[in-house]
């Protein structure tokens, strides 16, 4: 804490404060999505065996740097999928039994909201590192529907994450960026990672201090506890726009 306060005093806030926002979007799809509710007595459902079109994912990342080194960062990232198919056997989900061979709809929502602090190492160099802590609120549910019968399991909870980031300038216009929020424990894990290439030349002529990026984002994790078992792996091809205001 003492080092944190000294760093702020040595970096005047007035001359370096900067607000920025990132808008990111892209198509998202699953390579894994298994659920069992309750975790110890339910039947495992593999939603990747259902027909599930890619979903349009959107996230907004507001940020405020109150010196070269110190940043407060947020995240708003809603995400939902719907899959249709038929169960291979009689399935117990959240206390309700669903029949095999009947048209079934599975819905999956995983909204994420985060707020945290990030420290920037070597902010003026060609290679820059970041490290921070993020507080995540998970707003999720899984539901199964057959005709008029629906069973839904909701889960809202707090998850602490460690932030790690790395950027490297390869030319005046091109930068590679690695951005990861992650943490694991015996009950489960959460990983949200992006690898992207930023390009300044395309949008800088129209919008000063703006970057356009293309990249790949992966979200992986889940929980294995008595109440719920669910692990998913989501892949996204993304395009993003960073704007400094």
In this predicted model, what pLDDT tens digit does every residue of 33-42 receive, in sequence order?
999 999 999 9
| Residues 6 or more apart in contact with residue 162 via CB below 8 angstroms | 131, 132, 133, 134, 181, 182, 183
* pLDDT for residue 97: 97
Counting every residue written for the chain, the total comes to 245
Query: Is pLDDT at 243 greater than 80 in this prediction?
Result: yes
Q: Say if residues 195 and 175 touch (Cβ distance below 8 Å).
A: no
Residues 6 or more apart in contact with residue 227 via CB below 8 angstroms: 37, 38, 39
Distances (CA, A) of 31 to 72, 163, 235: 33, 24, 7
- Is the predicted pLDDT of residue 236 greater than 90, yes or no? yes
Task: Identify the pLDDT of residue 143.
Answer: 97
Answer yes or no: is pLDDT of 92 > 70.
Answer: yes
Classify 100 as helix, strand or coil: coil
- The H or E element spanning position 50 is none
Q: How far apart are CA 205 and CA 216, in angstroms?
A: 26
**CA pair distance 75, 168, nearest whole angstrom:** 23
Res. 32 pLDDT band, cuts 50 70 90:
very high
**pLDDT bracket for residue 218 (50, 70, 90):** very high
The mean of the pLDDT values for the chain is 91
Write the CB contacts of 128 (distance below 8 Å, at least 6 apart in sequence): 120, 121, 122, 166, 167, 168
Confidence at residue 6, expressed as pLDDT on a 0 to 100 scale: 42
Of 234, 159, 158, 153, give the one whose Cα is nearest residue 189.
159
pLDDT band of 115, cuts 50, 70, 90: very high
Asked if 44 and 33 count as a contact pair (C-beta separation under 8 A), the reply is no
**Residue 10: predicted pLDDT:** 46
Residue 47 three-state SS: helix
Domains along the chain? 2-244 (2.40.128.90)
Provide the pLDDT confidence category of residue 208 given band limits of 50, 70 and 90.
low
> In terms of pLDDT, which residue wins out, 16 or 59?
59
pLDDT for residue 75 is more than 80: yes
Q: What is the model's pLDDT at position 132?
A: 98
Helices (H), the chain: 2-10, 13-16, 201-204
Total-model pTM: 0.88
**Residue 136 in this model has a pLDDT that exceeds 80:** yes
Q: 53: Cβ–Cβ under 8 A, 6 or more apart, which residues?
A: none
Residue 236 near residue 163 (C-beta atoms within 8 A): no
Give the pLDDT score at 8. Answer: 43
pLDDT average, residue stretch 119-130: 96
The residue-averaged pLDDT of 147-166 equals 96
């Amino acid at each position: 804490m003492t080092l944190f306060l000294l760093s702020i005093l040595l970096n005047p806030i007035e001359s370096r404060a900067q607000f920025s926002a990132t808008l990111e979007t892209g198509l998202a799809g699953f390579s894994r999505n298994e659920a069992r509710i309750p975790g110890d007595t339910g039947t495992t459902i593999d939603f990747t065996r259902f027909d599930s079109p890619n979903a349009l994912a959107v996230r907004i990342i507001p940020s405020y740097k109150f010196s070269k080194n110190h940043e407060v960062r947020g995240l708003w990232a809603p995400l939902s999928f719907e899959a249709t198919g038929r169960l291979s056997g009689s399935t117990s989900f959240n206390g309700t039994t669903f029949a095999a061979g009947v048209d079934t709809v599975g819905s999956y929502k995983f909204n994420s909201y985060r707020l945290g602090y990030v420290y920037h190492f070597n902010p003026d160099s060609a290679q820059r590192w970041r490290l921070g802590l993020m507080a995540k609120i998970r707003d999720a549910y899984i539901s199964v529907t057959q005709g008029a019968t629906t069973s839904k399991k909701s889960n809202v909870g707090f998850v602490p994450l460690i932030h790690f980031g790395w950027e490297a300038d390869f030319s005046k216009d091109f930068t590679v960026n690695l951005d990861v929020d992650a943490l694991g424990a015996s009950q489960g894990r959460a990983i949200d990672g992006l690898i992207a290439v930023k390009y300044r030349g395309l949008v800088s002529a129209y919008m000063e201090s703006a970057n356009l990026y293309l990249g790949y984002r992966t979200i992986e994790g889940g929980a294995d506890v008595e109440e719920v078992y669910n692990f998913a792996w989501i892949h996204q091809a993304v395009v993003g726009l960073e704007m400094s205001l």
